Structure 1
Amino acid sequence: MKPATMWARANRWRRSLGLDGNDLRRDVDRAQQRLGIVLLMLFFGIALPLGVHTAQTVYDSGVRAERHEAATWRRVDATVVKVKEVSGRHRVTVAWTGPDGTRRTGDYTTWRGSAVGSRIAVWAGPGTVSLLPPRDHSRTVAQTGVVAAAVALATALPLLGVHRLARRRFDRHRDRLWDAAWARLDNHRIGP
């Protein structure tokens, strides 16, 4: 994008917000501008602290889950002992030998079925079996970003709704003022 185009867009945006000192602006325009600024300040006052707190909580929880899964899950070669179809998915039961020599079993649900007797690699943890490896840091960062964006959106939507309703009301009032101004202009007699 050319710098001149960028500055022209920024200037157009500034004027649309009413930040240009235009003497032709009416009180209704100034009231709408003040409401927009208050709603914007309210958004930043709510969304930033709430988003930071929520993102920090999700990130800390994800890091704890990463550490826990890395310490307790291990990759094992298991044998499929039973496959049961449930609601279009497959409930697969696998068996493997633990590090202490005991025979263990576990279940997981998947979209793709496996044949009984086939060998597959799974991740086993305390009380769980999964095809997915332990949680990695990129998943924690992605979840943190999604949650922060969701908090910002959840905060912005009600405020945008208030702004839209207020803008409708301001537009109706502005239209009445324009109609009254045109009526006064039509009543003005020109000539002898």
Structure 2
Amino acid sequence: MGTGGIGERLNRLRRCCGFDRNELRRDVDRAQWLIGLLLLAGCAVVASLVSVRVAQDVYGAGVRTEHREAATLRKVEATVTAAKEEVSGRQVTVTWTDATGARRTAGYVTWRGAAVGARLHLWAGPEGVRDEPPRTHARTVSDTAAYELGALAAVGLTFGGLYMLVRRRCDRLRDERWDAAWAGLDRHSIGP
């Protein structure tokens, strides 16, 4: 099998995609090709618009959360005063001294083990205390990328589903025309 040049490969790709004047192509083949091409162009436009919008929204919300948490959460060393097992994790009550010297007590739910009397490094803020540090920029970027890929997948699946419906309808039309052609051929008698 010979290896063709780049021009021959591009020509083969062009014919494979339907960019030729093949006499054997039916109208339904050309219609399917045209609709598929329009759906592909529409998918590219819609996917780019949707993914940019989703990325802007997710990234903006993430950056606002980063700034808010960096401004309000402070790292504290807390002592566990009570720990109770629950279905959703472990309910832990802790006490600590804040920056003003006031003694604070709060509770939070965690999956991590915490025994009474243990010293933990936690993050305290106006909403209470938690064991997760403030949101990082790396998490904002990774969340943005994940949501953007999800948006692209949703748009791609939608347009792919539309094309599958078009293809199914075109296949049905092809089958009907094929059956009609065979029925027309059966009407002609061959021989004496």
The TM tier, using the shorter chain, reads 0.7 to 0.9
Query: Which residue of structure 1 aligns with residue 29 of structure 2?
Result: 29
- Does 1:130 pair with 2:137? no
Offset of residue 139 of structure 1: 0.4
How many residue pairs end up in the alignment?
189
Give the AA of the match of 2:171.
D
Give the AA of the match of 1:75.
K
Give the AA of the match of 1:128.
G
Offset of residue 191 of structure 1: 6.1
Offset of residue 44 of structure 1: 2.3
Offset of residue 107 of structure 1: 2.1
TM-score normalised by the chain length of structure 1: 0.83
- Give the 5 Å matches for 1:1-192: 15-186=15-186
Offset of residue 28 of structure 1: 0.4
Q: Name structure 1 gaps, 5 residues minimum.
A: none
Output the CA distance in 2 between the equivalents of 1:79 and 1:15: 73
Offset of residue 17 of structure 1: 3.6
Q: Tell me how large the CA RMSD over aligned residues is.
A: 2.9
SS in 1 for 2:107: strand
Give the AA of the match of 1:71.
A
Offset of residue 88 of structure 1: 4.5
Identity of aligned residues (%): 51
Give the AA of the match of 1:120.
L
1:122-158 alpha-carbon deviations (Å, 9 max, x no partner): 1122223221211111100111111112222222333
Output the CA distance in 1 between the equivalents of 2:110 and 2:9: 51
Output the CA distance in 2 between the equivalents of 1:55 and 1:168: 34
Output the CA distance in 2 between the equivalents of 1:9 and 1:69: 56
Output the CA distance in 2 between the equivalents of 1:78 and 1:19: 71
Output the CA distance in 2 between the equivalents of 1:56 and 1:141: 11
Offset of residue 102 of structure 1: 0.5
Output the CA distance in 1 between the equivalents of 2:86 and 2:63: 33
SS in 2 for 1:80: strand
Equivalent pair of 1:93/1:107 in contact (CA under 8 Å)? yes
SS in 2 for 1:117: coil
Output the CA distance in 2 between the equivalents of 1:139 and 1:88: 24
SS in 2 for 1:109: strand
Q: 1:27 to 1:66 in 2, by over 3 A?
A: same
Q: Name structure 2 gaps, 5 residues minimum.
A: none
SS in 2 for 1:134: coil
TM-score normalised by the chain length of structure 2: 0.83
Decide which moves more: 112-121 or 176-185: 176-185
SS in 1 for 2:163: helix
